[in-house]
Amino acid sequence: MFLAATIAVLVALALTLVRLFAGPSLYDRVLALNSVGTKTVLLIGLVGFLTERPEFLDIALLYALINFAGTFVILKFFRYRAVGDMAHQSMDTLSADTPRDPRGEDRR
Amino acid sequence: MSASELLALALDAASWALLVTGGLMLVIGAIGLLRFPDFYTRLHAGGVIDTLGADLMLLGMALQAGFSLVTVKLLLIGLFLFFTSPTSTHATANAAYFAGLRPVTADDGDKDGGPKPGEPA
């Protein structure tokens, strides 16, 4: 039963990874990354049950917390180009009136 | 068959059903994430279905674990995902809109990312 669920999560994970690498916009990637994180939490829990070591759930809990924080840090970085102190930023980069990146494509 | 055996069978069936439904939802959400034409529709597929699918799977695992610390941890993860997954979906949509990404509408044609509605990708 847990094996079937694990295979389902793995299939979903593979499909999500295709979207993560295909893009095309940065926000598609962030969305896919968040989705991969959620599925990883489930996978860790399921593998814990499969190997009958439910202590894995501690790792899953920690991973859920880190995934949530990580998504927000990535989004904050790409909005303000800084993660910590933003006092040096001028106000015009914080305004929504002037989209800097019309299609949200990543710059390589 | 005694009452306790019947109860164990019912719990097994319920957790099996929850795990299968959750796994199906995850796969369907991932297919939507892969196939939908623009970012906001993908957000709908990925963000909404993942929340329910993940919580159903965690609930299925909790039914298997019985009354123990494991169940408490599973429910904690489920509660946490139930609140954080929509929050990060909203934050992603807000950041994309702020950066100037606009939804593809029917009169956009194919100039703005993705095929017209009704066309194969």
Computed on alpha carbons and rounded to an integer, the radius of gyration of chain A in Å comes to 18
Q: Looking at this protein, which amino acid is placed at residue A108?
A: R
- Output B91 or B99, whichever has higher pLDDT: B91
Phi-psi region of B36 (alpha: psi -120 to 50; beta: other; left: phi over 0): beta
Cβ distance A2 to B54 less than 8 Å, yes or no, reads no
Instruction: Please state, in angstroms and rounded to a whole number, the distance separating the CA atoms of residues B60 and B14.
Output: 7
pLDDT of residue A92: 46
By mean pLDDT, which of A11-20, A48-57, B36-45, B100-109 is the weakest?
A: B100-109
Is the predicted pLDDT of residue A12 greater than 90, yes or no? yes
Instruction: Please state, in angstroms and rounded to a whole number, the distance separating the CA atoms of residues B58 and A92.
Output: 45
pLDDT tens digits, residue range A44-94?
999 998 898 888 889 999 999 999 999 999 988 888 877 776 655 544 455
pLDDT tens digits, residue range B97-117?
888 888 877 766 555 555 555
- Output A82 or A25, whichever has higher pLDDT: A25
Alpha helices in chain B (DSSP H): 3-35, 39-43, 49-65, 69-98
3 state SS of A105: strand
Computed on alpha carbons and rounded to an integer, the radius of gyration of chain B in Å comes to 19
* ipTM exceeding 0.85, yes/no: no
Q: Are A14 and B26 in contact (CB under 8 A)?
A: no
Interface of A with B in 33-62 (CB under 8 A): 34-35, 38-39, 41-42, 45-46, 49, 54, 57-58, 60-61
- Output B93 or A106, whichever has higher pLDDT: B93
Cα–Cα distance list, B96 to A25, A42, A72, B104, B111 (Å): 9, 27, 13, 13, 18
pLDDT tens digits, residue range B5-24?
888 888 889 999 999 999 99
pLDDT-based confidence at A107, cuts 50/70/90? very low
Cβ distance B61 to A18 less than 8 Å, yes or no, reads no
Global confidence as pTM: 0.79
Give the best residue of B20, B24, B50, B90 to mutate against chain A (max A CB count within 10 A). Answer: B50
DSSP secondary structure code for residue B105 in this structure: -
- Output B114 or B48, whichever has higher pLDDT: B48
Chain A positions in Cβ-Cβ contact with residue B92 (cut-off 8 Å): 27, 30-31, 34, 71, 75
**Residue B55 forms contact with A (CB below 8 Å):** no
